Amino acid sequence: MWYENAYNTKLLHRNLAFPLLRRLTEVGDSLAKRVFTEEIAKRLESGSPSVVRFLIEEKYFHYAINYIILKHPFYGLIEGLKGF
């Protein structure tokens, strides 16, 4: 069901969705990689301190750094890192 919904992260809690997307990315799933990087960028841009902290502590940031720089050059990134 999750695959049929293009790995929609709204269907799973982030504590499940992100580890699953990371693993699928590591084994070469191109759809998972796209969704994973877009979700990381979107969550960082949200600026929610708890979400940003989660992404940094769990080392997800580096998976999306190229996407963030190319597609969203620093937009919201500084705001998302405030409070650290």
Tens digits of per-residue pLDDT, 15-72?
899 999 999 999 999 999 999 998 988 888 888 888 888 888 888 888 877 776 666 5
Say if 60 falls within a structural domain.
Answer: yes
Which pairs with CB-CB distance under 8 Å and at least 24 residues apart come from 19-23?
A: 22/60, 22/63
- CA–CA dist 21, 24 (Å, integer): 5
Say if 3 falls within a structural domain.
Answer: no
pLDDT score, position 73: 54
pLDDT score, position 69: 65
Range of the domain at 36: 8-81
Residue carrying the six token digits 């969203």:
72
- Please state the pTM of the whole predicted model: 0.72
Say if 17 falls within a structural domain.
Answer: yes
Say if 73 falls within a structural domain.
Answer: yes
Domain count, the chain: 1
CA end-to-end distance (rounded Å), the chain = 37
Structure tokens at 27: 């084994």
